[in-house]
Amino acid sequence: MKALSLKQPYAELILQGRKTIELRKWNTKFRGEFFIHASKSIDKEAMKKFNFSELPIGAILGKAELIEVKKYSNEIEHQADKDKHLASAIWGNYGFVLKNPIRITPIDCKGALGFWECQEL
């Protein structure tokens, strides 16, 4: 199954259902279920902003379903979904719309860029 690596706390926010759109600078034709992988790098500012002190990294933490990709053409469109992606436009103009996040027992593994095939499971 495919996987997508995300920095913490964004992987955790998706699993909590608080973040339902993942911003990227690239588009994808992929639709369907994928694993959520927490990369080994974290966003320290976002950890403080969302009141996290420590979260698991370097592991698959759950899965979600990518159902649609939104293209943000301007700042107004981007701001309209701020409560869903919880980020600024610097993260990208493509919004991966997610649903059905499910947490699993963490599985240590290396990540990769883009969607990648997970061999660990």
Cα dist. 100→33, 63, 69 in Å? 9, 8, 16
Q: pLDDT tens across 24-44, in order?
A: 999 999 999 999 999 999 999
Q: pLDDT tens across 42-63, in order?
A: 999 999 999 999 999 999 999 9
What's the CATH number where 69 sits? 2.30.130.30
User: Where in the sequence is the domain holding 73, given as residue range(s)?
Assistant: 2-117
- Per the structure, the count of domains in the chain is 1
Q: Are 38 and 73 in contact (CB under 8 A)?
A: no
In the sheet with 21-24, reading across from the earlier edge strand, the strands are 21-24, 94-108, 59-71, 32-42, 2-8, 115-117
Q: How confident is the model at residue 89 (pLDDT cuts 50, 70, 90)?
A: confident
- pTM of structure: 0.92
